[in-house]
Amino acid sequence: MFSRERPPRPDAGLAVLLLPRFSNLCLAAVIEPLRAANERAGRRHYRWTILSADGGHVTSSSGVRIAVDRPLASLPPGGVLLVLASYDYRRAASAPLKAALRHHARHGTFLGGLDTGAWLLAEAGLLDGYRATIHREELAVFAERFPAVEVVEDRYVIDRDRVTAGGATAALDLVLAEIRRGHGRALASEVAALFLYAAELPADQPQAAMPERLLGRCDPRLARAVALMQRQMEPPLSIAALAAGVGLSRRTLERLFRRHLETTPRAYYRELRLAHARGLLLESGLAVAEVALRAGFDSPAAFSRSFRRRYGLAPGRLRRS
């Protein structure tokens, strides 16, 4: 699977390692299309095993407890091993886990990271010199933390014996592409149709384009304005500069936001910046003052006031909790 140049052992199959607070949607995006491909083909083209670090159940981000087939230590090398992490992924990067991943890499396992699973591979030194991606909210921190990795914004990346995907629908696109490569376009199309999925995107589609695609259904001008906000958080643009950047008057921009998003450009921009700051607080080791700067606030005090109004607690308290 996933490699034209060095296919894994066909009898080894696919293994998915679940880490605490993984995304159920991402897991389903991988195994449900494979299950459907087997059923539609009338043959068991794909086999999979669900793992946890210790063989015990794993609780997803939505609180669903998943029973697994076996512990990671019992998995023989070879085949494909995908690491699925979503939230609290830094806590999962234990020394035994990193050692196990390195062992599999040395013995010919094709390794992958889904959602934020790429972070675990990078922590183990297994993405140095590779192109890789991660969920779009973690891209900047990921690139800063691992300079030896060529970080790209693509939805998914296959580079030699590594694969990384930025989230659930990117994982679905990855699996559909694998079904098409291995067993033909007709089977892949049948599987996509079964899930009423008609929007398969290419691997190199930038993740940052997703909000623009969605908002573009409301108004392409609105989508361009939001995309510009996301690109320019530090420092934030004035609303007049934002409007000029997308070729609109300030009044027209205000009208678009009120009509389609029921808010103002200033309020929406602030929400984006605060959400960005919240992600940095939870998933990076940056000081609160640095987080404030990267979210476009003039001072830590101003940032703390805005953050407390939005989330009901101070930035430092959120991190401690």
Task: Give the residue extent of every domain in the chain.
Answer: 14-194, 209-320
Query: For the CA atoms of 135, 140, 142, 147, what is the dihedral angle to 10 degrees?
Result: 140
Give residue 251's Cα distance to chain centre. Answer: 36
If you average pLDDT over residues 46-54, what whole number do you get? Answer: 94
Q: Taking residues 35-48, report their average pLDDT.
A: 90
32-54: average pLDDT: 92
Q: Please give the average per-residue pLDDT across 177-206, as a whole number.
A: 83
Alpha helices in 78-163 (DSSP H): 95-106, 117-123, 139-145
Q: What is the pLDDT of residue 8?
A: 44
pLDDT at residue number 117: 94
Tokens of 273: 């910046």
pLDDT at residue 317 tops 70: yes
Taking the model in full, what pTM does it have? 0.77
- Extract the tokens encoding 268: 């929406």
Q: What confidence score (pLDDT) does residue 88 get?
A: 84
The yes-or-no verdict on residue 281 having pLDDT over 60 is: yes
Identify the band that residue 19 occupies on the pLDDT scale cut at 50, 70 and 90.
very high
Q: Is pLDDT of 5 > 60?
A: no
Res 10: pLDDT: 40
Q: Region 291-306: what's the mean pLDDT?
A: 91
Q: Which pLDDT belongs to residue 9?
A: 43
pLDDT at 12: 52
Whole-number pLDDT of residue 90: 84
Higher pLDDT, 215 or 280: 280
**pLDDT (average), residues 257-263:** 89
Question: Does residue 262 have a pLDDT over 90?
Answer: no
Contact between 168 and 26 under an 8 Å Cβ cutoff? The reply is yes
Average per-residue pLDDT for the chain: 88
For residues 276-289, average pLDDT? 84
Write the burial class of residue 277 (CB in 10 Å: 0-12 exposed, 13-18 middle, 19+ buried): buried
| Residue pair 80/8 in contact by the 8 Å Cβ criterion | yes
Whether 56 has a pLDDT exceeding 60, the answer reads yes
pLDDT of residue 208: 58
Is pLDDT at 101 greater than 70 in this prediction?
A: yes
Is 113 a residue whose pLDDT tops 70? yes
Give 92's pLDDT tier (boundaries 50, 70, 90): confident
At 213 the pLDDT is 59
Write down the CATH number for the domain with range 14-194.
3.40.50.880
pLDDT category at 42 given cuts 50, 70, 90 is confident
Architecture of domain 209-320: Orthogonal Bundle (1.10)
Q: What angle separates helix 265-283 from helix 250-261, to the nearest 10 degrees?
A: 70
Cβ–Cβ under 8 Å, residues 157 and 134: no
At 170, is the secondary structure helix, strand, or coil? helix
* Mean pLDDT calculated for residue range 176-184: 91
Q: Which two tokens stand for residue 222?
A: 């609105």
